[in-house]
């Protein structure tokens, strides 16, 4: 399997962490979705990451669809999202909050980093920040016991937190949500997270 995309993307990273945690081998295609746009569009017509190229050449796009396939491959006992009932609903709710926050922080990052200054819209940025902050506050109100198994809600939430720390430093200062700080610190020592840390934010910057 080939995982397409860089770990600066929290969506790519949550797939990478999941593959590593589950012991599923993969290689990487680290071309940039910005710098190698045409090549990326040949893999995924949307020109977005992540994609997962299976061994028979089939290409899966969108992290949710990729993670669904991975869970199916390992079976319900090892799947990172519970199969049914309240545990499934609660996990999906946390994942929705975390991915929603990634979308809104991502929109904010693109506003700040990609869009030329003359075309920025402060009210839109404020709206994105309010929506993302609301989702993070809701995640902070959830219970994250130290000894709970590593599931997809934890993986995606930590990928969100590390993404904000890297791409939008200062927006979620340490101490604002101690429970989330503890969650991220606990996961930082796990090899799957340690070995996929995002580098410097790779999107070309407009001033």
Ligand X SMILES: N[C@@H](CCC(=O)N[C@@H](CS)C(=O)NCC(=O)O)C(=O)O
Least separation in angstroms between residue 5's CB and ligand X is: 7
Comparing CB distances to ligand X, the nearer of 165 and 186 is: 165
Residues in 23-62 at the binding interface with ligand X, rule: CB under 6 A? 33, 47-50, 62
Q: How many CB atoms lie within 10 A of CB 127?
A: 14
Whole-angstrom distance, CA of residue 18 vs CA of residue 30: 18
> Is residue 45 packed enough to be buried (19+ CB in 10 Å), middle (13-18) or exposed (0-12)?
exposed
Residues in 166-205 at the binding interface with ligand X, rule: CB under 6 A? none
**Of the residues 2, 53, 64, 92, which one makes contact with ligand X according to CB under 6 A:** 64
Whole-angstrom distance, CA of residue 138 vs CA of residue 132: 10
Comparing CB distances to ligand X, the nearer of 18 and 63 is: 63
Residues in binding contact with ligand X, number by CB under 6 A: 11
Least separation in angstroms between residue 147's CB and ligand X is: 29
Least separation in angstroms between residue 27's CB and ligand X is: 19
Q: Which helix (H) or strand (E) holds 52?
A: strand 51-53
* Sequence-distant (≥ 6) Cβ neighbours of residue 71 within 8 angstroms: 79, 80, 81
Lookup: tokens for 89? 């609903």
**Of the residues 3, 9, 18, 180, which one makes contact with ligand X according to CB under 6 A:** 9
Least separation in angstroms between residue 96's CB and ligand X is: 12
Which positions lie near ligand X, rule CB under 6 A?
A: 9, 11, 33, 47-50, 62-64, 106
């Amino acid at each position: 399997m080939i995982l397409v995309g860089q770990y600066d993307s929290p969506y790519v990273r949550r797939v990478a962490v999941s593959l590593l945690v589950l012991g599923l081998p993969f290689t990487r295609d680290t071309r940039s979705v910005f710098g190698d746009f045409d090549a990326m569009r040949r893999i995924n017509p949307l020109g977005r990451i992540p994609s997962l190229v299976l061994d028979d050449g089939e290409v899966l796009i969108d992290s949710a669809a990729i993670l669904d396939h991975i869970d199916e491959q390992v079976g319900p006992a090892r799947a990172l999202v519970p199969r049914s009932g309240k545990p499934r609903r609660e996990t999906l709710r946390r994942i929705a909050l975390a991915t929603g926050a990634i979308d809104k922080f991502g929109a904010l990052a693109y506003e700040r980093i990609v869009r030329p200054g003359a075309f920025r819209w402060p009210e839109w940025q404020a709206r994105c920040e309010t929506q993302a902050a609301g989702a993070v506050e809701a995640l902070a109100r959830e219970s994250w016991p130290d000894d709970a198994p590593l599931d997809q809600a934890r993986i995606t939430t930590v990928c969100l937190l590390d993404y904000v720390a890297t791409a939008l430093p200062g927006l979620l200062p340490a101490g604002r949500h101690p429970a989330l700080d503890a969650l991220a610190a606990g996961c930082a020592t796990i090899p799957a997270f340690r070995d996929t840390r995002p580098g410097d934010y790779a999107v070309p910057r407009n001033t």
